[in-house]
C-alpha cells in the first residue's frame, strides 16, 4: 500500500511539473512564490531533521516560505506595473511635447512670412 501511495504521489508531482512547463512564462509573483516555497521547504527540512521530523519541517517551511515569497513577489510585480505605467505616461507626454514644438515652429514660420 505504501509503495502504491509513493508511486501515485510521484506520478501526480511529475504531471504538475510537466504542466507547469507549458504556457506563459512565470510572473514575478509566481517566481517569488516558487522560490520562497523551495527555500522554505529546504530550510524546514534541515531544521526538521534536527528534531526528527524532516517531512513535517519541509511542509511547514515550504508553506511559510511560499507565503512569504508570494508577498514579496506581489510587491515586486506591483512595482514593475507602476514603473511601466509611469514610463508609458512619460512617453505619451514626450510625444505631445514633440507635436507642440512642431506646431510652434510652424506658427513661427507662418508669422515670419507675413
Chain segment 68-91, per-residue pLDDT in tens: 999 999 999 999 999 999 999 999
Please answer whether residues 71 and 31 qualify as being in contact, where contact means their C-beta atoms are separated by less than 8 angstroms.
Answer: no
What is the residue-wise DSSP string for 48-87? HHHHT-HHHHHHHHHHHHHHHHHHHHHHHHHHHHHHHHHH
pTM: 0.64
Cell of 68: 512569504
| Candidate ranges 18-32, 41-55, 84-98; pick with highest mean pLDDT | 84-98
Amino acid at each position: 500500500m505504501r509503495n502504491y501511495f509513493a508511486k501515485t504521489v510521484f506520478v501526480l508531482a511529475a504531471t504538475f511539473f510537466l504542466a507547469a512547463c507549458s504556457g506563459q512564462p512565470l510572473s514575478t509573483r509566481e517566481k517569488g512564490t516558487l522560490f520562497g516555497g523551495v527555500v522554505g521547504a529546504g530550510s524546514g527540512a534541515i531544521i526538521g531533521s534536527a528534531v526528527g521530523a524532516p517531512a513535517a519541517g519541509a511542509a511547514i517551511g515550504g508553506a511559510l516560505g511560499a507565503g512569504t515569497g508570494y508577498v514579496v513577489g506581489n510587491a515586486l510585480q506591483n512595482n514593475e506595473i507602476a514603473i511601466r505605467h509611469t514610463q508609458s505616461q512619460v512617453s505619451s507626454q514626450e510625444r505631445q511635447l514633440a507635436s507642440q514644438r512642431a506646431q510652434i515652429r510652424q506658427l513661427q514660420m507662418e508669422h515670419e512670412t507675413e
